[in-house]
Structure 1
Amino acid sequence: MNRRTFLSFASTFSLGLALGLPKAAANVDASTTLAIADQSEFVRNLLDASGKTSELGFKASFPNFAGGPAILEAIRAGALDIAYVGDTPPIQARAAGTLLPIVGTFTRQVAQYRLTSRPGLVINKLAELKGKKLSYVEGSGRQVFLIEALNRAGVSLKDVELVNLRVADLPDAIRSGTVDVAVLTEPHVTRLVRQAGASPVLDPVERQILPSTSYFYARPDVLADSKKAAAIENFLAAFARAAKWSNANRQAWAKYYFTDFQRISPDETAAIVAAESPLLLQTSAEAIPHHQKLIDILYQAGSLRERFDAKTSFVDTYDSIIAAER
């Protein structure tokens, strides 16, 4: 999509936002299909563990991906309807000329990401990142987390050596010492700490850098399809109920997902649960300020050519169902 086409579409999309996109019907056509991009099979497992899969009312598939860039390629190709992504992929998609409306937001007060150093290296303060070799995953939530960590430390991107790696390669990069510090998620942090002698950054500010925010975004033509729009409503309602169940049943969810599915030891599972904060769903109005902050961080770091208005990345079509079910 060229710039002129993108701006024309963005203008039309903003008008649709003001007028209200097609509202999902009360009843879902059981023959409707939705391809929902998953990561680490989190969404599928959460729905299954909570017993909410049976409440979808349509045919859902959950192809699994390793990171936002791969998901963007698939959704551009029309292979996906909606996708579970981190906080940066919707911004990177817009920067590349593709506007994928955000239909749902969920967050944790404490970030799922951890700055983790290689064996033999202990980082006590964020300022000690200066001069280090850091992983830099373009287009993923890890990117903005790392940039903000450097901002908090007063360290410029020019003061570190950036190594661009795929998400799947990060644990081995830390284990082997290919990089000094990587932005990792569980269970990799706990495993590397216990098995390889890696270490999370010890500065308490690291736990306050950013909340852990993720989104569901959709192809615009999917939202214009009344049957698929209704299916998305059912999906978001079921996901909200599943999230509420996981918050009330943390041990049962952790055993199902981490211990039984990911084959993580009970001790490691307990460490993950102890560090994890509740899963909270947000309406578009609640989510927009944080999304604008992410855009501003990337823009100020020179990763974006223009500063977008976060409001035009969201639709409020499903706000009422999210507010009612969360």
Structure 2
Amino acid sequence: MKRRDFLLTSAAAGAAALVTPSIGRAATKPGKLVVADQSEFIRNLLKASGEGEALDFELELPNFAGGPAILEAIRAGALDIAYVGDTPPIQARAAGTLLPIIATFTREVAQYRLTSRPGLVINKLAELKGKKLSYVEGSGRQVFLIEALNKAGLTLGDVELINLRVADLPDAVRSGAVDVAVLSEPFVTRLAKQVGASAVRDPEERKILPSTSYIYARPDVLADPQKVEAIKQFLPAFVKAGIWSNKHEQEWAKFYFTDFQRVSAEDTAAILEGQSPLVFQTSDEAIPHHQKLIDILYQAKSIKERFDARQSFVGTFDTLIAQSR
């Protein structure tokens, strides 16, 4: 059996072994859960909201810079579930690894920003033509960039792509190694203050795509009763923490941006002004947008096959998510 077929079959078997979790009573004691974090978002959210205090299992939250590094770790069995952007599950599947999506959260306005180097101002998306653009295959930044070019009537062939790691993007903008990179806060604000970088000014840039993220799992984790019990505690706590951040946005922004990421109070306010609330979705609610992302990547020839988005999700935890949001 080929590696791709084995991985896909294993994922399907793991998902099929699951049943809708019973609410209010644990079938077995929850086991240790290792969750990939990014920018220590989950760690801070659970701490600020207080939702992490109710978890009665061992939770590890190793921090990563981007989806490609997370995929390597999850393939090595070092992670149970992972918080990733919208592209990594699609790229993993294209590479023969179907990692079931167990939760989806999104913001109407993207948190990614097309950010130009010092001395370069981009007023319209069409001005990206011929520019050196950062390209991080397997990261959520990939599909964001492709759709930005689509909106400008451009293709990947109309620009010069510079392959970089997520961690290298701020320095690439600072040094001028790229003309434009897809960044997220606090780096957009920091680089604007420090070196005069600037976000693309075209209003259409704010309408490219919603900022969608997923939590996906190793298939064998979903067949482990102790891991499943831990996930059944973790996901409601995470959803409730996200709802708390929506209702207490000033407190959350101070905790995360000002105090943790050391962003000034003025810049924290600017970040908050451009940020829309977190929305948590069930699998049925999330599937249409995921199919759109697959289609964007397929049409750009970034993946060779147009997948059915429905096969990327398991609805095992949908009831818990719906009841917690």
Query: What TM-score, normalized to structure 2?
Result: 0.96
Counterpart secondary structure, 1:83: strand
Instruction: State the 1:6 CA deviation.
Output: 4.0
- Secondary structure at 1:111 match in 2: coil
Residues 103-252 of structure 1 aligned to structure 2 (within 5 Å): 103-252=102-251
Whether contact under 8 Å (1:29, 1:57) holds in the other structure is no
* Structure 2 contact 101–215 (Cα < 8 Å) conserved: yes
Are 1:223 and 1:229, in contact at CA under 8 Å, matched by a contact in 2?
yes
8 Å Cα contact 1:112/1:186 also seen in 2: yes
Cα distance in structure 2, aligned partners of 1:34 and 1:230: 10
Q: Which runs of 5+ in 2 are unaligned?
A: none
Counterpart Cα distance in 2 of 1:306 and 1:292:
12
Please say if 1:54 is aligned against 2:53. Answer: yes
Contact 1:32 1:231 in 2 (8 A): yes
Distance 1:22 1:228, change over 3 A: farther
- Which secondary structure state, in structure 1, belongs to the residue aligned with residue 220 of structure 2? helix
Structure 1 Cα separation of the partners of residues 51 and 220 of structure 2: 26
1:5 corresponds to 2:3: no
Count the aligned residue pairs.
Answer: 323
Deviation at 1:243, TM superposition (A): 0.5
Identity between Structure 1 and Structure 2 (%): 70
Q: Decide whether the 8 Å contact of 1:36 with 1:62 is kept in 2.
A: yes
CA distance in 2, matches of 1:6, 1:77: 13
Q: State the match for 2:21 in structure 1.
A: 23
Tell me by how many angstroms 1:230 deviates.
1.3
> Is the contact between residue 236 and residue 321 of structure 2 (CA under 8 Å) also seen in structure 1?
yes
RMSD in angstroms over aligned alpha carbons? 1.6
Match for 1:224: what amino acid? A
User: Which residue of 1 is the match for residue 71 of structure 2?
Assistant: 72
Q: Which amino acid aligns with 2:42?
A: V
Residue 33 of structure 2 aligns to a residue in which SS?
strand
Structure 1 position 20, deviation (Å): 4.9
SS of the residue 1:148 aligns to: helix
Show the counterpart of 2:272.
273
CA contact (8 A) 2:30 2:228 kept: no
* Structure 1: gaps of 5 or more residues: none
Q: In the TM superposition, what is the alpha-carbon distance from 1:226 to its structure 2 partner? A: 1.2
Change over 3 Å in CA distance of 1:322–1:7 after alignment to 2: closer
Change (3 A) 1:325 1:296: same
**How much does 1:259 deviate?**
0.9
Q: Deviations over 1:63-103 (max 9, x none)?
A: 00011111111111111100000000101111111111000
Partner of 1:286: 285
Tell me, yes or no, if the aligned pair for 1:296 and 1:307 is still in contact at 8 Å. yes
Q: How far apart are residue 5 of structure 1 and its match?
A: 2.3
Q: Matches of 2:45 and 2:211 in 1, distance apart?
A: 17
Equivalent-residue separation in structure 2 for 1:28 and 1:278 (angstroms): 34
Q: Which residue of 2 aligns with 1:296?
A: 295
Give the CA deviation at 1:305. Answer: 1.0
Q: Does the aligned pair in 2 maintain the 1:288–1:311 contact within 8 Å?
A: yes
* Matches of 1:9 and 1:20, distance apart in 2: 13
Q: Give the distance between the partners of 2:22 and 2:74, measured in 1 at CA.
A: 21
Deviates more, 1:219-228 or 1:33-42: 219-228
**2:119 match: secondary structure:** coil
Letter in 2 for 1:3: R
| Corresponding letter in the other structure for 2:94 | A
**3-state DSSP class of the match of 2:255?**
helix
Residue pair 1:149, 1:209 contacting (<8 A) in 2 also: yes
Quickly say closer, same or farther: Cα 1:117–1:204, change in 2 above 3 A: same
Which deviations, in whole Å up to 9, do the C-alpha atoms of 1:266-296 show, x marking residues without a partner?
A: 1111111111100110000000001011111
CA contact (8 A) 2:110 2:210 kept: yes
Matches of 1:7 and 1:243, distance apart in 2: 32
C-alpha distance in 1, partners of 2:21/2:218?
16
The residue identity in structure 2 corresponding to 1:302 is: K
Secondary structure (helix, strand or coil) at the match of 1:147 reads helix
What do the CA deviations read for 1:161-209 (whole angstroms, capped 9, x no partner)? 0000111111111111110000000000011111111111011010000
* Native 8 Å contact 1:36 1:60 kept in 2: yes
Letter in 2 for 1:156: T
Kept after mapping to 2: 8 A contact 1:52/1:242? yes
CA separation of 1:111/1:179 partners in 2, compared to 1, >3 Å: closer, same or farther?
A: same
Determine the structure 1 residue equivalent to 2:85.
86
CA distance in 2, matches of 1:148, 1:279: 22
